[in-house]
Structures are given as structure tokens and as C-alpha cells.
Amino acid sequence: MLLDTVPSVCPHDCPSACALEVERIDRSTIGRIRGAAANDYTAGVICAKVARYAERVHHPDRLMKPLLRTGPKGSTQFKEIAWDEALDRVAGAFAEATAKHGAETVWPYYFAGTMGLVNRDGINRLRNVMGYSRQDANICTTVVRAGWIAGMGDVKGTDPREMAKADLIIMWGGNPVSTQVNVMTHVARARKERGAHFVVVDPYRTPSAEAADEHVMVRPGTDGAVAAAMMHVLFRDGHADRAYMARFAENVAELEAHLKPRTPQWAEAISGVPAAQIEALAKRYGETQRAYIRVGYGFARSRNGPMQVHAVACLPTVGGKWQYEGGGALWKVDGYYKVDKSLIEATDRLDPSTRVLDMSRIGPVLTGEDAVVCQGPPVTAMLIQNTNPVAVAPDTGRVLKGFNRDDLFVAVHEQFLTETARHADVVLPATTFLEHADLYTAGGHPHLEVHDAVIDAPGECRSNHRLLNELTLKLGGDHPSCHMNEAELLDATLRRSGYPGFAEMVERRWLDIGPKEEADRRFANGFPTPSGKFRFRADWSALGPSGAGIEGFPDHVDIVDRATGDKPFRMVTAPARNYLNTSFTETATSKKREGRPTVMLHPDAAAELDVEEGARVRLGNGQGSVVLHARLFDGVQKGTVIVESVWPNAAFEEGVGINLLTSADSPPPMGGAVFHDTAVWVRKA
């Protein structure tokens, strides 16, 4: 028997931020979850893992009570304690650490386990009020953002719903069938209604490439070459829109001269994509007005990632595609929202002189090797919310060494006893989105969404918001928002941002905040750069000091972890369909569907290594090695291997996962993480 169906919003770290309808069986139990049909982006579709969310929210392993560690770090030996004691212990440890080393020794650490602004970004309130170390939250979007703003100036683009009106859709470096399924709804419409041609650019035949009309099987880290060669063809064959560029782009003549030698043959040698395919795709792109490029994250997760993104983002300006309905490009729509987060984050209390630590370099930070931490106190106390760095951060060897330090106190606020939680001194049980209210700015579509709680919190779970307020006050800090409940903080935040208040937004569910004027949708009044023109020449040094000296025009920037005789393979650790980073690795259905940690290897490479289907193989580099099982797969170049991720470390034979091999190197110009830029050796195990 169903009680009713209640609206909500998917909080997971996914550009789709689906509008949901949750079946409620009683005040503490849900049934199925469906996508809201009335939302014209979600359009009634959600991924399978969230449709069966009852499996996650009512999981027998959900944390219900605060825990105190009684065994060694990393073990599962904990005892239950009361909330009061737990908070006293955390506050006591933070106060003690501060007395010894100063406030910057405490490092609140978070990411996007929930994308709700109150429960994700509220940790910055604690940080700002107490003067704790800041965090460069760069593990995911920074590399894409750098490349996108280098050309266009802001994170804006063509409305994603216009994909349905396109005649050519290129999904570049993303796998939406697995990672943001709603893209496929709009692609399907364009194919059905207009016979649109759908292309996927990816190092391997992903489920999205499988569903496409054409797969461009690129060598990882070489998209800059493919995009440059496509633009070479556009200029050469009269498909460059010179009138458009004269009005809307900088450095047009210099770009044309720069592209002269960057022929499809040149790009084939770098990317492994046949010159004939690059020619044909460029011709099709040049001849199609309604050509839509949907930019994924994957091809940015490389040392040259921002340069790759910039090169691809230049294409619609060379072709003049932005002018046409269904034409242009999109990565994310962040630039359209105007949410004032000052109350959530207590930005009035931010001291800009406080040091900023690089979250992607949590390994080197915790081992004391990172340059920033070398200049100040070590990190000796942490509160972690919304992320599982022991499994997801690069360079797991250093991450583990850091977390196992005896002089590091860690509190983890979680829904499950993740591998990070197992390294905590105190573990605190957290609510899920079904048990708290929040506000979301979707990345992949222009809707501001708000929801209230659907069911009561189980056990003694508390929301991030509540925990942060209680801890801040216990530490002697204070801020007006520390005395607001979620609804009050949401209401005040919405109103000061110029949106309707909380109650009205819960009722309305979402607000379409995309540009309404045709001219704004088409960038007909110019791009959001100082000159109003798109920048073909990126000024990388203006975005960050490490950008100095890097070619500004679209090119192959050869700064990747190159394959060598010792490490002949390039490894991509792309997302697994049934997991979301490490979320859902606890659910039985997802685990069953994913099987076991697997490396996809071209059959010719496997034959040379004497590796058979299903065999144990060892992958390694200077950072260590891991054992996986081989899957022979011809949808990948011979020199590339694919490991779908992120499995818990414990799922691997030797107890450490794939990020043992990925590097914590900081890519230019703004930093970030380079998960798909790793050279490895492969051997029969």
C-alpha cells in the first residue's frame, strides 16, 4: 500500500540533477523512485541505480549512531557512543590541535556527495568562522572549467533542450548513457524527429558510443589534435563562417595561419583517428547548421585537459553554429544561476589570507610533501563530509600513508562506513536527501530545484547542516545562520538571491532560469569575455601561474604522461555505469551488475602479453601495481586500457584500488585531477 508520492530532487554528483517522484510507503519507508515527467529536462527518465534507491536508503549497513574507533585505523572496529560525546570529542580534538599548531592545522574536507547547496557548502561556514584551512575544491570540474572559460569567458552554453532540435550531435569526452542518462532523451528526440547523426568521441566504445551512429576512437589526451584538424578542414574547404567570426571572435587570421599545418594526417599520427574520418566529420560539421557539441568531463581529466576543452569549444565559433537553434555547445550552465551563498558559507567571516590546500593533492598534503603545507603547520585534524578520498583521490598510496598517521585526528560524517570512515577516530551518521531539505543548481540543465524531506531520519542520523551548526557553536564560533534550521536558511538564501522563498519553491519544485531572450540564448550580443568576442587564443597564464608558456591556439599540447617502452599503455579510469564514484558500491544490485574490477584490453595487445579472457593481470607504474581481471575488447586502441571505476580498495586482491596508479600532479593552469592520464605497464599476474 502506498501512502502517497512526494516530489524530490536527486542530490548525487551528476549533471542531470533529476526532478524526482518518490513513492512513500509510510513516514519512514520509500518504494520506487521515478523521474518527473513534468520537468522538461528530466522528462520522466532517471538512471536505474536511483530508481531502486530503496536499496540504498534502507540498506542494513546505513550508519545509525555515532561511532568511536576502538581498533587500528582502517579496521571496522568501532563502538557506539552518544551524539553529545561524539561532538565533544570532535570539538575537543579541533581545539587541542588549534592550541598546538594554530587554526590552519584543521582542514574541513568535502565534495559533492550531495549537491544540495546547504548540505554541501555549509562546511565552509565552519571553516570561515573558525579560520580553518581552505580547500581548493578542484577534483572534478576545475579542469573542464579552465578550458571552457578560456574561450567563452563564463560557464554558459546552448540550452540542453535544444539538442532535440539538432541535426548533428557530437558527445565529446563523455559517456551519458552511464553518467547522465537524460542527455540521451534529448538525443533520441533529435534522432527520431530529425534523423540527427549522433557521434561519440571517446577512447573506448562506451555504452554511449555503442548507441551512436559514429564512434571516434581517440587516443587519450589527443582531442586537441582532432579538433584542430577539424578546424583546419573548415577553413580549407570554405566552411569557416568568416562573417560570424569577424563579429564574434578574436585572433581569426592568426588562428587560420596556426591551423595551416594541422592537417587530418597530422592529427591521425597523434590521435590514431583515421584522417579520412576526421575529414568526413569536419565536412559533416561544416555542412550542418544545427550542430550541437555536448562537452563531457572525461577528456579534461588530463594534464592537457583544459587545452583539449578549449580546442573543442572553438569549433562552434569557427563554424558560426551558435547562431542557429539546435547549434552551439554546452558543458554546464552554472553561469546562469545567481545564488547568494553568503549565509550558507558565512563569507563575511572569510579571511582571504587563510591558506588554501589542494583537495586533489590530499595525499601529498597529508604526508607533508605538498608545497603549500610545507610552509605552514601540518594538517592534524579533519572533518570530512560528502566524499570518500581514501578511494577516490589520486595517488592512494600517499593518501593511505597520510590517513594512517598517528598524529592525525579525523571525524567523518557519512551514510555508510566507507573506507574513509574506517580511518576516522569518530564517525557520525548522516541523513540522505530523502531525510532533509535542500536547494540545487543543476549543472546539465537550467533549473533551480528545491525539495523538502520525504521521510523521517532513521536512527540518530543528523543532516550536515545540523551537525555543522552544533559543532561550530560548541567550538565557540557563531554566525546568524548557525541559528537557522534548513528551511529558514533556504528561505533566506533564496530570497536574497531574488528567487521565491522556500515554501513557494517546494510547491513549484523548480524554476527554469535559462535565458529567455533569443539573442541571449544565441550569444547574439556577444560572449561573456571582456571584448565580447570568443577567444581563439587562450591566455593560460591569466588563469593561473602554471599556465605560463602553454600554446594558446587550439593544438595538441604534449604534456601528458606519455606511453614509453617501460609503460607502453595509456590508462583511462572511466566511470562505471552502476556506481556513482564510490556511491552505490554498497548496494547488492550495482555490485552484481559490475562484477569485479576489470581491465579492458585490445585482443591484439592481450595476445602479445599472452593474456586470455578473464585472466588475472597486473597493471603498474612508479606508484605501485594492482591486480585485475582482463576483458578482451576490440572497442579500444591497442595502446589504451580502460578500468571502469571507482571500486572500493577492498574489492581489489591486494586491498588497494585503481587510484594507486593515478597521479596527484596538478594540471595547468588552475590545478585539478588527471584521472585519465596515466601510463602503465600490463603483465600477466
Ligand X SMILES: Nc1nc2c(c(=O)[nH]1)N[C@H]1C(S)=C(S)[C@@H](COP(=O)(O)OP(=O)(O)OC[C@H]3O[C@@H](n4cnc5c(=O)[nH]c(N)nc54)[C@H](O)[C@@H]3O)O[C@H]1N2
Which one, of 186, 183, 184, 221, lies nearest residue 201 by Cα?
A: 221
Q: Which listed residue (7, 8, 10, 90) binds ligand SF4 by CB under 6 A?
A: 10
Q: Which listed residue (306, 575, 648, 667) binds ligand X by CB under 6 A?
A: 575
Cis? peptide before 669, omega within 30° of 0: yes
Q: Least Å distance between CB 650 and ligand SF4?
A: 23
Interaction between residue 599 and ligand SF4 (CB under 6 A): no
144 binds, among ligand SF4, ligand X, Mo ion, none (CB under 5 to 8 A by kind): none
Q: Least Å distance between CB 50 and ligand SF4?
A: 4
Decide: 424 and 384 in contact? Cβ < 8 Å: yes
DSSP collapsed to 3 states, 371-424: HHHHCCCCCCEEEEECCCHHHHCCCHHHHHHHHCCCCCEEEEEECCCCCCHHHC
Can you state the angle between helices 264-271 and 223-236, rounded to 10 degrees? 170
Supply the DSSP string of 54-69, one letter for each residue. Answer: HHHHT-TT---S-EEE
Q: Least Å distance between CB 301 and ligand X?
A: 5
Q: Which listed residue (132, 244, 553, 579) binds ligand X by CB under 6 A?
A: 579
Convert residues 388-417 into a mask of x (bound to ligand X by CB under 6 A) and - (unbound): x---x--------------------xxxx-
Handedness of CA 360, 366, 367, 369 (dihedral sign): positive
Run of H or E including 365? helix 362-366
Interaction between residue 43 and ligand SF4 (CB under 6 A): no
Binding to ligand X (CB under 6 A) within 58-117 occurs at 111-114
Between residues 140 and 489, which has the closer beta carbon with respect to Mo ion? 140
Between residues 255 and 468, which has the closer beta carbon with respect to ligand X? 468
**Where do we find the cell 546505513?**
62
Decide: 458 and 435 in contact? Cβ < 8 Å: yes
Residue 525 Cα distances to 288, 310, 482, 518, 642, angstroms:
23, 21, 43, 10, 43
CA–CA dist 448, 595 (Å, integer): 37
Between residues 398 and 577, which has the closer beta carbon with respect to ligand SF4? 577
Interface region with ligand SF4, contact rule CB under 6 A, candidates 15-23, 200-208, 353-361, 492-500: 15-23
Decide: 83 and 427 in contact? Cβ < 8 Å: no
Between residues 16 and 590, which has the closer beta carbon with respect to ligand SF4? 16
367 binds, among ligand X, ligand SF4, Mo ion, none (CB under 5 to 8 A by kind): none
CB atoms within 10 A of CB 344: 26
Q: Which listed residue (46, 140, 163, 318) binds ligand SF4 by CB under 6 A?
A: 46
Q: Least Å distance between CB 417 and ligand SF4?
A: 22
Q: Least Å distance between CB 13 and Mo ion?
A: 5
Which one, of 119, 180, 125, lies nearest residue 433 by Cα?
A: 119
* Total of chain residues touching ligand SF4, rule CB under 6 A: 12
Q: Which listed residue (7, 8, 17, 645) binds ligand SF4 by CB under 6 A?
A: 17
Between residues 349 and 593, which has the closer beta carbon with respect to ligand SF4? 593
Q: Least Å distance between CB 177 and ligand SF4?
A: 10
Decide: 19 and 33 in contact? Cβ < 8 Å: no
Interaction between residue 581 and ligand SF4 (CB under 6 A): no
Backbone phi, psi, residue 656, to 5°: -130, 135
* Total of chain residues touching Mo ion, rule CB under 5 A: 1
Between residues 147 and 444, which has the closer beta carbon with respect to ligand SF4? 444
Interaction between residue 576 and ligand X (CB under 6 A): yes
Q: Which listed residue (128, 317, 387, 649) binds ligand X by CB under 6 A?
A: 387
Which one, of 292, 281, 306, 300, lies nearest residue 151 by Cα?
A: 306
Which residue's Cβ lies closest to ligand X?
A: 298
CA–CA dist 76, 477 (Å, integer): 33
Interaction between residue 140 and Mo ion (CB under 5 A): yes
Q: Least Å distance between CB 657 and ligand SF4?
A: 21
Interaction between residue 140 and ligand X (CB under 6 A): yes
Between residues 331 and 527, which has the closer beta carbon with respect to Mo ion? 331
CA angle (381, 399, 572) in 5-degree steps = 140
Decide: 600 and 658 in contact? Cβ < 8 Å: no
CA–CA dist 574, 676 (Å, integer): 7
Binding to ligand SF4 (CB under 6 A) within 176-235 occurs at 180-181
Interface region with ligand X, contact rule CB under 6 A, candidates 101-109, 385-393, 512-520, 615-623: 385-393
Cell of 68: 568511536
Interaction between residue 659 and ligand X (CB under 6 A): yes
444 binds, among ligand SF4, ligand X, Mo ion, none (CB under 5 to 8 A by kind): none
Question: Which residues contact Mo ion (rule: CB under 5 A)?
Answer: 140
Residue ranges in contact with ligand SF4 by CB under 6 A? 10, 12, 14, 16-18, 46-47, 50, 180-181, 580
